[in-house]
A and B are shown apart, each in its own frame.
Chain A
Amino acid sequence: EVQLLESGGGLVQPGGSLRLACAASGFSFSTYATSWVRQAPGKGLEWVAAISGAGGRTFYADSVKGRFIISRDNSKDMMYLQMDSLRVEDTAVYHCAKSIRPTVPQGEFDFWGQGTQVTVSS
């Protein structure tokens, strides 16, 4: 059974940092690209960042470029999102999602995690 479990969310002040993690199981992790997708309060889904299955290529939404870094450790079946210079508008539930393809942006997201809450507030 495919599972994606996010962790690392919490309350942080504006300008602060947080590192999210996504633990994957039930599939060959390195074979597939993965993404972070967020949902701000009262808003829709917003793609944040993606990484290829091998980890060699990364992509970011303009809203987080230069502040967030996506990475993965295929030996541990883990994906990460390092979030720096956090802003109030980064407050959201962050989901990890698995693509059906190894490359970005090919392929829809066939499995998602339930998400972890990130709140940026003073």
Chain B
Amino acid sequence: DIQMTQSPSTLSASVGDRVTITCRASQSISSWLAWYQHKPGKAPKLLIYKASSLQRGVPSRFSGSGSETEFTLTITSLQPDDFATYYCQQYNHFSSMYTFGQGTKLEIK
């Protein structure tokens, strides 16, 4: 099975900061990686798909990069609405179906 490992688990930052979250796959997943934002009591929201493609309607301060086993989500100029938990997810692999990382909670410093 493919395991997804995110770091850090928690990240403290201030409005206006630039932050980066890392996601590592236990084996190559090509570019079949998505990033989601999740707030308590809300529906998760797709931010990035295919590792680096920005979902329609998502602000351009969000960006994704990487391939194979190493991926990053970068948020430039943090806004108050960005404080949430972020998950990476691999897909397109029958051996592991859909696997999420354990999440990164982005907190206000």
In the complex, which range does the number of interface residues on chain A fall in? 20 to 34
Are B97 and A59 neighbours in the complex by a CB distance under 8 Å? yes
Chain A residue at smallest Cβ distance from B44: A112
Q: Is the CB of B44 within 8 A of A105?
A: no
Q: How many residues of B contact A (CB 8 A)?
A: 26
Contact (Cβ within 8 A) A110 B102:
no
Q: Is the CB of A45 within 8 A of B87?
A: yes
Main secondary structure, interface of A, reads strand
List A contacts of B45 (CB < 8 A): 112
Residues of A within 8 A of B55 (CB): 110
Instruction: Indicate whether B109 reaches chain A with its CB closer than 8 angstroms.
Output: no
Say yes or no: B101 contacts A44, CB within 8 Å: yes
Residues of the B chain whose Cβ atoms lie less than 8 Å from the Cβ of A61: 97
